[in-house]
Structure 1
Amino acid sequence: MMKKSTKTIGNRLTNVTLWGMLGLFIQLSTACMKSDTTTTNTANLSIINTSPGLGTFNVYLNGTQVNSGALAFGGVLNYVQYSAGDFITKFTTASSTDALLSKTITLTGNNVYSYFVIDKGEKMDGLLITDVMNVASTEKAFIRFIHLSPDTKALDFAIAEKGNIISNKSYKEASEFTAVDAGTYNLQLKDHDSQELKTSLEASTLTAGKYYTIISRGLQNAIVSSEQSFSAQLMTNL
Structure 2
Amino acid sequence: MHDDFFYPLDSDYHASVDGQSFVRILHAAPGAPAVDVYANNVLIVRNLTYRQFTQYLPLFPGRYRIVVFPAGSRTSPVIDATLSIPAGTIYTAAAIGTLPNLRLLPIADPCIARGFGQSYVRFVHLSPNTPAVDIATSTGVQLFRNVSYTQVTDYIPVQPGLYTLEARPAGTNQVVLTVPNVRIAANRILSVYAIGLSGGQPSLQVLIPLDGNAYLPVCRFTR
TM-score computed with the length of structure 2 as normaliser: 0.82
| Amino-acid identity (%) | 19
Of 139, 155, 160, which aligns to 1:177? 155
**Which residue is equivalent to 1:103?**
81
Tell me which protein shows more helix as a share of its residues: 1
Of 50, 63, 66, which aligns to 1:86? 63
Q: Map residues 29-48 of structure 1 onto 2, 5 A cutoff.
A: 39-40=18-19, 42-48=20-26
Using the TM superposition, give the Cα deviation of residue 95 of structure 1 relative to its aligned residue in structure 2, in angstroms: 2.5
Using the TM superposition, give the Cα deviation of residue 215 of structure 1 relative to its aligned residue in structure 2, in angstroms: 1.3
Using the TM superposition, give the Cα deviation of residue 123 of structure 1 relative to its aligned residue in structure 2, in angstroms: 1.5
**Which residue is equivalent to 2:202?**
228
Larger radius of gyration: 1
SS at match of 2:18: helix
Using the TM superposition, give the Cα deviation of residue 81 of structure 1 relative to its aligned residue in structure 2, in angstroms: 1.1
Q: Distance in 1 between matches of 2:23 and 2:139?
A: 33
8 A contact 2:36–2:69 mirrored in 1: yes
Q: What amino acid sits opposite 1:218 in the alignment?
A: G
Q: What amino acid sits opposite 1:180 in the alignment?
A: V
**Which residue is equivalent to 1:67?**
45
Q: What amino acid sits opposite 1:133 in the alignment?
A: C
Flag structure 2 segments of 5+ consecutive residues without an equivalent: 1-16, 215-223
Q: Distance in 2 between matches of 1:206 and 1:97?
A: 41
Gap change, CA 1:105 and 1:54, over 3 Å in 2: closer
Deviations 1:11-58 (A, max 9, x none): xxxxxxxxxxxxxxxxxxxxxxxxxxx522x21111101001151111
8 A contact 1:132–1:177 mirrored in 2: no
**Which residue is equivalent to 1:201?**
179
Greater alpha carbon shift after TM alignment, 144-153 vs 190-199: 190-199
SS at match of 1:119: strand
Of 164, 167, 184, which aligns to 1:189? 167
Using the TM superposition, give the Cα deviation of residue 198 of structure 1 relative to its aligned residue in structure 2, in angstroms: 1.4
Flag structure 1 segments of 5+ consecutive residues without an equivalent: 1-37
Give the alignment's Cα RMSD to 1 decimal. 1.5
**With CA pairs under 8 Å and 6+ residues apart, which has the higher RCO, 1 or 2?**
2
Q: What amino acid sits opposite 1:92 in the alignment?
A: F
Q: Map residues 76-155 of structure 1 onto 2, 5 A cutoff.
A: 76-98=53-75, 99-155=77-133
8 A contact 2:37–2:43 mirrored in 1: yes
Q: Distance in 2 between matches of 1:54 and 1:87?
A: 23
Deviations 1:217-238 (A, max 9, x none): 111142xxxx422222211113
Q: Which runs of 4+ in 1 moved over 6 A?
A: none
Using the TM superposition, give the Cα deviation of residue 162 of structure 1 relative to its aligned residue in structure 2, in angstroms: 5.7
SS at match of 1:124: strand
TM-score computed with the length of structure 1 as normaliser: 0.77
Using the TM superposition, give the Cα deviation of residue 133 of structure 1 relative to its aligned residue in structure 2, in angstroms: 2.9
Q: How many residues align?
A: 195
Q: Distance in 2 between matches of 1:60 and 1:121?
A: 19
